[in-house]
A and B are shown apart, each in its own frame.
Chain A
Amino acid sequence: MYAFDYHRPQSVADAASLLASSSEAKLLAGGHTLIPTMKQRLASPKAIVDLSRVAELRGIDRKGSALVIGAMTTHDEVANSPVVRSAIAGLCQVAGVIGDQHVRNRGTIGGSVANNDPAADYPAAVLALNATVTTNKREIGADAFFKGLFTTALDDSEIIVRLSFPVPAKFAYVKFANPASRYALVGVAVAQTGKDVRVAVTGAGSSGVFRHKAMEAALAGNWSAQALANVATGASDMMSDMHGDGAYRAHLVGVLARRAVAAAG
């Protein structure tokens, strides 16, 4: 790890000005990607802006037809929140299968979404539930937020404040974990919110999390696992590595989507 300046602001405004003050400053949320990368000397930010003391980034609230989760809310808090459970029980399950207990105690929803790791779990849920990402500057819809591998719509001085999830009629997330890393080798989230049916896939796509439009169309008319029986997933659009080639991942997308629909009821 190289030397860096460490800041621990108390407010989003202070965090934003610290972030803007250096072109090489980085936000620290749970740190599960940033800290190991720094320890390996692969990242060398000149300044770290630690968000852990910013109270306005925390908290879980039901606001009418939406579930609102502060960006610095940990996976463990989401997994065990009665408010989340009563609104979107499947989101507890998403948070509960991230990493292990140690990871869940530190990792945050805002950090996960901002990092947009192509094998992270939250992006699939955010996209399937059509959540809105609120930053210190604006509101960004899920479809506009995720821009490809480790890339989002956030600009360099933008900080995620909270995520707002419309409460769906049906939702489930099914994950097939990479046996080594326990990230998603493939994860599929399915949601029905009003008339809107959305299927989001993580871990598999070569451009990161994506909506499976063919599955959405099939489910819109017939919400059942059988409706997906003949929906193809293109192997050539999938990531390929020693843990799974494109054909395997594409196959798993189908299997997990059917299981997710069944689980969502």
Chain B
Amino acid sequence: MSATGIGASVRRKEDQRFITGKGQYTDDINRPGQAYAVFVRSPHAHANLKGIDASAALKSPGCLAVYTGADIAKDKVGNLICGWMILSKDGSQMKMGPHPALAQGKVRYVGDHVAVVIAETLAEAKDAAEKVSVTYDVLPAAVDVATTQNTGQPQIHAEAPNNTVYQWHLGDKAAVDAAFAGAKHVTKIDLVNNRLIPNAIEPRAAIGDYDSGTESLTLHTTSQNPHVARLVLSAFIGIAPEHKLRVIAPDVGGGFGSKIFIYAEETVCLWAARKVGRPVKWTGDRTEAFLADAHGRDHVTSAELAIDASGKIVALRAKTKANLGGYLSTFASSVPTYLYAPLLSGQYDIPAIYCEVDGVYTNTAPVDAYRGAGRPEATFVVERLVEVAARQIGQDPAEFRRKNFIRSFPHATPVIMTYDAGDYEACLNKALELADKNGFATRKALSAKNGKLRGLGYSAYIEACGIAPSAAVGSLGAGVGLWESAEVRVNPTGSVEVLTGSHSHGQGHETTFAQLTSQRLGIPIEQITVVHGDTDKVQFGMGTYGSRSGAVGMSAIYYAIDKVIVKAKKVAGFVLEVPENTVDFKEGIFSSSATNKTLTFPEVALQAYIAHKFTGAQLEPGLKEGAFFDPTNFTFPSGVHICEVEIDPETGSTRIDRWTAVDDFGTLINPMIVEGQVHGGIAQGVGQALLEGAVYDKEGQLLTASYMDYCMPRAGDLPSFQVAMTSTPCPSNPLGIKGCGEAGAIAAPAAVVNALTDALGHEQIAMPATPLAVWRAAQKSPMKMAAE
């Protein structure tokens, strides 16, 4: 391992720029002649639009234009799309209502886009927006995921009777029913997977810019996948032909999924830029982010686990209602289906699994992928079931897991997936040791002496990452392939630009991708620049989400580098005057058994460009290669997290005393960055478990629309994490990488709730387990009663 190669904890190259304020985020960019957009948003969750009077707004100082849904329709701007077709049990296609960029006839959640006001300055745009007079015929709202399908509920889209988008299922129902009928013990739980609001530090923003000379449009936007945005905006929404549209996602300050999607705001900014003949900028404020960024999770689930007399799990079944919000966001349909149910086997050998999912509309913000996307929901179901089952049958939860672990690979689950590699017991053993499980009883007794309740909870999670084999997802309804591309451009001086279709918005790609390149080409990391986020620079790419950029994005770079090395060896052969097949390349040096002369990588690069040592007939000049990588399988990161909590039953406050995470991510490129990803993921998972919850009232008003009420995790809410790794390299990519970006968020909620319920001595606690919820639960705690 070199100091900057694979496996080295290289400090992040991008951080100097970020921490000295030199980052260039969308809002830092200003275009000559730029005007400002402000959206008029619905204050009602559900209402007919009776009329929009913009006359006073248009007279407001600096106002350039006010556009409504009627203008969008007149210009034939296409609706926003949902790119994954889900089929119901009966084979019918999902029932999707139209999703216009500006509302037409009806609004369907608080924050829905009613009109856009464009003015010379932001203040003037806000002034004018206040003068847009909208007449609403307010309708009752259907807000609750559990009841929105009931008879008599308000109907949100005419296309979707009973607010039901699909009734989907996966697995063998008959086999599961038979297994349950013969089971010795059945554990049943009801769960709510609470609704979350992503809260990236940087709010969403967009600048649309029209060049009448070339009839082309440029969009600067906060995107995790600029090429997908360009494809959707051109091919589906019809804003501009793909070759006349450039999408730039510059520095992006966090995404967590919420910046995957193609939203109304960027669509409108692009369209309006051409209409007003001026660049149009919109930067969301924090309230808009709460109201109109796609939210995450929001499931209610009943789940059951069947266990035989020997303590082996024989079947699992789950019935989930998933809230999709007022409209279907870009990938909303896939999250509670194919990103969820295929993970219900967890780390366990379960012969039969059946899952039903109803995807439903409500008068709330659209719900889509958020860090983990479906897999945290699945892990919560499996790991709560397993924990409760172990307690009910009187087995140690760790040993019950161990008994049911999958032990041979590849392993085909009854829910599509084939796990390729793993060693679950290795993670468990290491985690038990690091968590000092043996000392827990002593610590618990000490807590009890101080009037505190201590509990320990496990989460043995699995995730399917590195999404994904294009043919596989295509067969499941995806509208796109999920490969990745890379191009490696070697300059004549031997420095290298790596162009990638992945997008870094906090992940540290500028460092890790350079580490891979540094190691393989034997050049200093300072000689490498990673280029991403601009459709004019990078030919195409699928972007960053689903923990895919290491496994898929870096694999594309790996193969592009392979091609560079092949070509460079040919050049070296000519220069060294030896047969090409005798040229060896190692640690940046070209050598040959046929000569004692050697060449460095920069020397060969220069020769490739000056082209003096070979003719055009023998070899093309230059040194630049590209590759597309389509994986053959998902990757399956796994691990065991152990959370230890101490509850103050008098106040209901929960302190996380210990956190042990042992993860198997396969090969690590930069252990420090991986550890950081684990830390951030756990923080978000703890946020879900203890702190965060989006709350709408019965009228569909978002009660948690600011940090006064929506509680983000802070450093003080978290312990110092004990993080360790095991490794079973992934066999389906050349580097053996599995992906680490979502693991913590997937593992953490179940670990926390299992620890809480262990401390409380009963299972009645829902997320977020706020002090109020924990205090109420503690009143019913047999542990507390015993202590008193």
A interface residue numbers (CB < 8 A to B): 1, 40-41, 176, 179-181, 185, 242-245, 248, 251-252, 255
Contacts and interface: CB of A to CB of B under 8 A. Distances in A.
B707 interface: yes
Contacts of A181: 707-709
B771 A176 contact: yes
Nearest to B123: A1
B773 to A, nearest CB: 10
A208 B449 CA distance: 36
B126 A41 contact: yes
B703 A180 contact: no
A179 B287 CA distance: 19
Contacts of A41: 126, 130
Nearest to A245: B772
Interface string B687-726: 0000100010000000110011111100000000000000
Q: Is the interface of B mostly helix, strand, loop or mixed?
A: loop
B650 A179 contact: no
A176 B691 contact: no
Interface in B115-131: 123, 126, 130
A22 B523 CA distance: 69
Given A41-B126, A176-B651, A179-B770, A248 B775 contact: yes
Contact of A243 (B653, B709, B712): B709
18 contacts: A1-B123, A41-B130, A176-B653, A179-B691, A180-B691, A180-B708, A180-B712, A181-B707, A181-B708, A181-B709, A242-B695, A243-B770, A244-B771, A245-B772, A248-B772, A248-B775, A252-B651, A255-B651
Contact of B709 (A1, A180, A245, A251): A180
B693 to A, nearest CB: 9
Interface in B668-698: 691, 695
- CB-CB nearest 9 A-B residue pairs: A180-B711, A181-B708, A179-B711, A255-B650, A244-B772, A248-B772, A180-B709, A242-B695, A179-B691
B67 to A, nearest CB: 22
A202 B126 CA distance: 37
A180 B695 contact: no
A242 B775 contact: no
Contacts of B707: 180-181
Contact of B771 (A1, A40, A179): A179
Main secondary structure of the interface of A (DSSP, over half): loop
Contacts of B775: 248, 251
Interface range on chain B (Cβ under 8 Å from partner): 20 to 34
A18 B594 CA distance: 92
A265 to B, nearest CB: 20
B222 to A, nearest CB: 21
A258 to B, nearest CB: 9
Contacts of A248: 652, 772, 775-776
A243 B776 CA distance: 12
A118 B770 CA distance: 21
Nearest to A248: B772
Contacts of A252: 651
A181 B711 CA distance: 7
A57 B650 CA distance: 41
A245 B652 CA distance: 13
Contacts of B712: 180
A72 to B, nearest CB: 25
Contacts of B123: 1
A40 B286 CA distance: 11
B280 to A, nearest CB: 22
Nearest to A255: B650
Contacts of B653: 176
Contacts of A244: 771-772
B651 A180 contact: no
Contacts of A40: 287
Nearest to A183: B708
Contacts of B704: 180, 242
Contacts of B771: 176, 179, 185, 244
B363 to A, nearest CB: 19
B778 to A, nearest CB: 11
A143 to B, nearest CB: 29
A40 B711 CA distance: 20
Contacts of A251: 775
Nearest to A247: B776
Given A41-B126, A242-B703, A252-B651, A180 B710 contact: yes
Contacts of B770: 179, 243
A251 B704 CA distance: 25
A244 B771 CA distance: 8
Interface centre among A40, A41, A185, A242 (most CB of B within 10 A): A242
Nearest to B127: A2
B651 A242 contact: no
Contacts of B695: 242
A40 to B, nearest CB: 8
B283 to A, nearest CB: 14
B699 to A, nearest CB: 15
Nearest to A251: B775
Contacts of B691: 179-180
A45 to B, nearest CB: 16
Contacts of B703: 242
A158 B775 CA distance: 43
